[in-house]
Amino acid sequence: MTHDEFQIIAADHGFQRVYFTNPMKFDLGANRFHLIADALSSFPHATCIAVLVYPYAPFTSEERIPAYYLASNRAYHAVNRIISELASAGIRAEKAAIPIKSQLECSHVGVKCKNSLISIAPFGTRTVLLALAIDGLSPIEYDERGEVCGDCSLCIRSCPMGAIGQDGLNASMCMRLHMDTAMHPDWVRNVQRTYIGCEICQYACKRNAALTNTKPADEVASAFELKRLISGDAAEARGFVGRNMSGNGKLTAEAIAFAARDGLYEEEILAASDSPFEAVQDAIRYAKFVGGIADE
């Protein structure tokens, strides 16, 4: 199989770019995401690390449905199909949970932004990145580096937590990194704009300015309807974003917080008190405090 043939297979599954890079070793320090630091040792058979780029269209900044996590779930299933297709062609491919942004940066692809995301023209930061350890394809040298952020401070000024500075991201202050579980602190609930994650700095970034916004499909919008999620009917929504990102009542708890801030669905919020999930009970507590909801 050639590089071009590999890229055709990837494109058929929504990945618009593939970068064939050298297996590398990184010093990841605390490594909170348990990434593989040494691809050379972890994948001794691999002749290259293929980084697959899955671009997606953002929704408007007023939309609470997370465009990234919808795309991430699609990309996750797509890459599984690619692995199967490559296996049928005699190509060994394994998912590689490596630090992909560092991998691309060291391969001279894209530019790392102050918010820690990597921008790849013409997609900006609106991409899902996945990596495969490949046996049988050689690395390619690239020079697709973008212009550095310089004095631009748009993402810095947009971050409600003040987590971004001229020197980069302070991870301990980043809202997204406090949203891995269903239980969110109140300071997150106060400013959260989208389910599951945060996209505020990406809306501010001028690298994304040329991208065309789209709308969630009707079936997605229906699945994420506030009242439906508050009632605990979250199965369809979880199917769209991935069950590993939305368990333990996460979507219901977030919907309750959104509704409380909007002054909506007081009765429905109180009715959710029979939920078995601790995060939902905590969201009801938050709703009573923020929305002035009183028990009947």
pLDDT of residue 177: 87
pLDDT of residue 296: 57
pLDDT of residue 32: 67
For residue 74, pLDDT over 70 is answered with yes
For residue 210, pLDDT over 70 is answered with yes
Check if the beta carbon of residue 19 is closer than 8 Å to that of residue 51.
yes
d(CA 137, CA 180): 35
231-272, pLDDT tens digit by residue? Answer: 999 999 999 999 988 999 999 999 999 999 999 999 999 999
pLDDT of residue 171: 87
User: Which residues have C-beta within 8 Å of that of residue 231, sequence separation ≥ 6?
Assistant: 252, 268, 271, 272
Q: Return phi, psi of residue 34, to 5°.
A: 55, 45
For residue 291, pLDDT over 70 is answered with no
Check if the beta carbon of residue 178 is closer than 8 Å to that of residue 185.
yes
20-62, pLDDT tens digit by residue? Answer: 999 999 988 766 678 999 999 999 999 999 999 999 999 999 9
Name the average pLDDT for the chain: 94
What's the sign of the alpha-carbon dihedral 66, 69, 75, 77? Answer: negative
Query: What are the angstrom distances between the C-alpha of 218 and each of 56, 77, 224?
Result: 17, 21, 10
pLDDT of residue 292: 72
148-177, pLDDT tens digit by residue? Answer: 999 999 999 999 999 999 999 998 899 998
| Of residues 99, 102, 127, 106, the one with CA closest to residue 34 | 99
Question: Is cis: bond before 122, omega within 30 of 0?
Answer: yes
Residue 241: count other Cβ atoms within 10 Å of its Cβ.
27
93-137, pLDDT tens digit by residue? Answer: 999 999 999 999 999 999 999 999 999 999 999 999 999 999 999
Token pair listed for 165: 């500075």
Confidence of residue 295 (pLDDT cuts 50, 70, 90): low
pLDDT of residue 18: 98
